[in-house]
Structure 1
């Protein structure tokens, strides 16, 4: 007898999975058949997902709320979709995208449309992951620029750091003078310089209101 399963993924342990779980329960997925990973979607090296692959059989049905809950890596999503539907022979239904339901449209046109939608959505999922990562980097850089330290105690750059950097980049002062004026070791100087550039890049991309 074919079984029905559900897969849930949240990116961190403090995120709430209730919305995904409710959607699966509404489809009458047994609680014991719901697999949950609290892990990034950058790859499929996740314990519960791996366990799910071992249990799925041909003809079983797997529900997932959205394609980005399955993963956020374009190529990996494509590969895993083939593993689920071809290698294992299970059906997959993405609840918020009815076109991604392998039980429907099994003819050539239906398969073509589903493949096209999958490629678009998996691209969007990866693009969003990269955008999130970039915003996180900019946020960390902004925090460090304000003197917030992460991990080991850090040495904040001086208030005139942008001026020192500008003079150094224009070759008006040597690196040794830039280090002396900023009060930083060379490794720390380059780290603060990288954070400063990330912060400046973020400001340039912010549209004026």
Structure 2
């Protein structure tokens, strides 16, 4: 029997609440709602979206409230749509109402359009963020992200005879970070 799987996403759990999305998806017929907390700019790390896609069977629907809950760019949105269609299921967006099952060119055009809008939105957010950072720097209020790597600790491990790869593994950082810390 065909089922509706809901998908919700918020960017951060800092002040955002996913409960309203879940409740609305359930009202719209989702038997289970998969929810991720993370950036919509990438599909990487979206474990719950992956789980929902794996569970889809022919005739099922993957339901999201808005296109930007799935992805904020055209390529990612269409990639998810393609994976859904490969399962012989449908991607359904509630607002605006789009059902993409691979049979209707207009729904693909709409997904493409809303992916482009998501890309523009992402661009504007980043531009505003850059302007805010520049203004804060001029006021002396922005010092950048705090250092997360202690160069002294990296040098100490190097003095103990460890190579960059071993240091990186021990500190759970990238090798390039080790080299930057040693050069500092």
Alignment counterpart, residue 116 of structure 1, candidates 102, 105, 109: 109
C-alpha distance in structure 2 between counterparts of 1:142 and 1:93, whole Å: 41
For the residue of structure 2 that corresponds to 1:141, the secondary structure is helix
CA gap of 1:76–1:152, structure 2 versus 1, over 3 A, is: closer
C-alpha distance in structure 2 between counterparts of 1:140 and 1:128, whole Å: 18
Q: Higher Cα Rg: structure 1 or 2?
A: 1
Residue 2 (structure 1) aligned with residue 2 (structure 2):
yes
The aligned residue for residue 99 of structure 2 is 101
C-alpha distance in structure 1 between counterparts of 2:78 and 2:38, whole Å: 19
For the residue of structure 2 that corresponds to 1:72, the secondary structure is coil
Structure 1 runs (4+) greater than 6 angstroms displaced: none
CA gap of 1:17–1:152, structure 2 versus 1, over 3 A, is: closer
For the residue of structure 2 that corresponds to 1:101, the secondary structure is strand
Cα deviations across residues 83-105 of structure 1 (Å, max 9, x unaligned)? 112x111112100122x1147x9
Residue 147 (structure 1) aligned with residue 140 (structure 2):
yes
Contact 2:100 2:108 in 1 (8 A): no
The aligned residue for residue 42 of structure 2 is 43
C-alpha distance in structure 1 between counterparts of 2:57 and 2:30, whole Å: 16
C-alpha distance in structure 2 between counterparts of 1:88 and 1:112, whole Å: 18
C-alpha distance in structure 1 between counterparts of 2:60 and 2:96, whole Å: 19
Count of aligned residue pairs for this structure pair: 144
C-alpha distance in structure 2 between counterparts of 1:57 and 1:74, whole Å: 24
For the residue of structure 1 that corresponds to 2:5, the secondary structure is strand
The aligned residue for residue 68 of structure 1 is 68
Q: CA deviation at 1:76?
A: 1.5
Q: CA deviation at 1:152?
A: 4.2
The aligned residue for residue 24 of structure 1 is 25
Cα deviations across residues 177-208 of structure 1 (Å, max 9, x unaligned)? xxxxxxxxxxxxxxxxxxxxxxxxxxxxxxxx
**TM-score after normalising by structure 2:** 0.71
Contact 2:74 2:115 in 1 (8 A): yes
C-alpha distance in structure 2 between counterparts of 1:13 and 1:137, whole Å: 23
Q: CA deviation at 1:28?
A: 2.8
The aligned residue for residue 119 of structure 2 is 126
The aligned residue for residue 56 of structure 2 is 56
Q: CA deviation at 1:21?
A: 1.8
Q: CA RMSD in A?
A: 2.0
C-alpha distance in structure 1 between counterparts of 2:96 and 2:118, whole Å: 13
**TM-score after normalising by structure 1:** 0.63
